[in-house]
Amino acid sequence: MNPQKFVIFDRDGTLIYERHYLSDPTQVELIPGVIEGLKQLSEAGFGLIVVTNQSGIGRGYFNQARLQQIHAYLQSLLGVAGICWDGLYYCPHTPADECHCRKPQPGLIEQAAHDLGFDPSQSYVVGDKPCDIHLGEAVGAVTLLVRTGYGEKVANEGRITPNYVVKDVKEAADVILQHDSKGVGSVVYES
């Protein structure tokens, strides 16, 4: 078992600005604080993973080759700062497919854990939607809701209970590093 801890991120609304069925790499734009937060976590020894639902493929809006171009462009933006993913996993299915890999189902994290040999219950899940928080809960991870993307609305609705509610990925990194160093229990942190 890999002793390294991992932080699992949603993509749209968490790392990059939400676009309706993003299909053009030139529309990829990092949310402020993402580079700083990812760099902090990487330098502290955390593994970094992205898990994302991409039903635009299943709906025929774009294909897997186009998605690979989007992800390559995203990696190029982060690579300038020396940030690399340990893994990037996506579900191409629509909700009607009822697959095991579409968030909040745990299939993508289970695959990542198998590939990289880590314990998902010792990880952190960061996202802006209920499905991200439910995904983290499904594997026993610490959950962080960012207020970017849909996160502000989700936090205000109060229908989910993440372990932490934070401003953005930078603040998520701060909380994760503090949580990890002190072994703090599940306490809601509101920014």
Q: If you compute the radius of gyration of the chain from its CA atoms, what whole number of angstroms results?
A: 15
How far, in Å, CA of 136 to CA of 62, rounded? 28
How far, in Å, CA of 6 to CA of 47, rounded? 4
Run of H or E residues at 46: none
Q: Which phi and psi angles does 74 have, rounded to 5°? A: -60, -45
Is 128 one of the annotated active-site residues of the chain? no
Is 174 one of the annotated active-site residues of the chain? no
DSSP conformation letters of 125-159: EEESSHHHHHHHHHHT-EEEEESTTTHHHHHHHT-
Q: Which phi and psi angles does 113 have, rounded to 5°? A: -65, -40
Q: Find tokens 């934070």 and name the residue.
A: 166
Buried residues in 27-53 as b, exposed as e (16+ CB within 10 A): ebebbebbbbbbbbbbeeebbbbbbbb
CA dihedral 2, 44, 143, 18 (to 10 degrees): -110
- Active-site residue set: 10, 12
